[in-house]
Amino acid sequence: MVEDEQHGLFGGYLLLNSNGRPLEFHCTTPVRANRAQEILYGPTLREYLCGEQIAAALVRKTNLAPRLICTDMPEVLAVRQHVEVPVIAVAQVAAEQSTAAATDEEGQAWRVDAAHAVGAPKSTALFSLAGAEVSVCDAHPQDRSAVIEIWQTFAARIDLTEPFGRIHEAISEAQQAQRG
């Protein structure tokens, strides 16, 4: 997903073969909640938009069935109630998410932590997969063992985090093409 302040959320879905080559790519038009949805869904709004509206629509569009769905947004775990395959959220390891130190006028050091996600679906404890921290939806704890088993067929050929960059770039390219 790519979020644009002016337009809303754009979703992207890239289906790869076991060698990491694209089989299908789909993306959505921007999705933005209206005021009534903001009020009614409250803190679960992003989970609803990302998982139930955008991700579910993208999975329905695909011609081929995935064996595993990976996302870089924990809110997308909500799509699990609409699909029959395991879904994992891959934790992003980025510089802006690290802990930093700040110093005030008196030289006192203060710890500054990155913002914490709010409203994401509950997920079981993180576990390690292919050098990344991943989680599954609490409602489907059995997905953890299924994910580990499925991943064995891809482990030697696919970097778990790399395809997210391709998805983000493809969405940006599609946005530019629409603008003209």
Residue 103 confidence (pLDDT) above 60: no
Residue 34 confidence (pLDDT) above 70: yes
How many domains does the chain divide into? 1
Average per-residue pLDDT in the chain?
Answer: 84
Residue 79 confidence (pLDDT) above 90: yes
Tell me the residue range of the domain where 113 lies.
Answer: 2-117+127-179
In the predicted model, what is the mean pLDDT of residues 34-55?
96
Query: At 177, phi and psi to the nearest 5?
Result: -65, -35
In angstroms, rounded to a whole number, what is the distance separating the alpha carbons of residues 63 and 98? 39
In angstroms, rounded to a whole number, what is the distance separating the alpha carbons of residues 1 and 74? 11
Nearest residue to 167 (alpha-carbon basis) of 87, 99, 69: 69
Residue 102 confidence (pLDDT) above 80: no
The pTM score is: 0.79
In angstroms, rounded to a whole number, what is the distance separating the alpha carbons of residues 9 and 147? 27
In the predicted model, what is the mean pLDDT of residues 86-97?
70
- Is 122 part of a structural domain of the chain? no
- Is 34 part of a structural domain of the chain? yes
- Is 165 part of a structural domain of the chain? yes
pLDDT of residue 95: 35
In the predicted model, what is the mean pLDDT of residues 3-8?
86
- Is 71 part of a structural domain of the chain? yes
> Whose structure tokens read 């699990």?
80
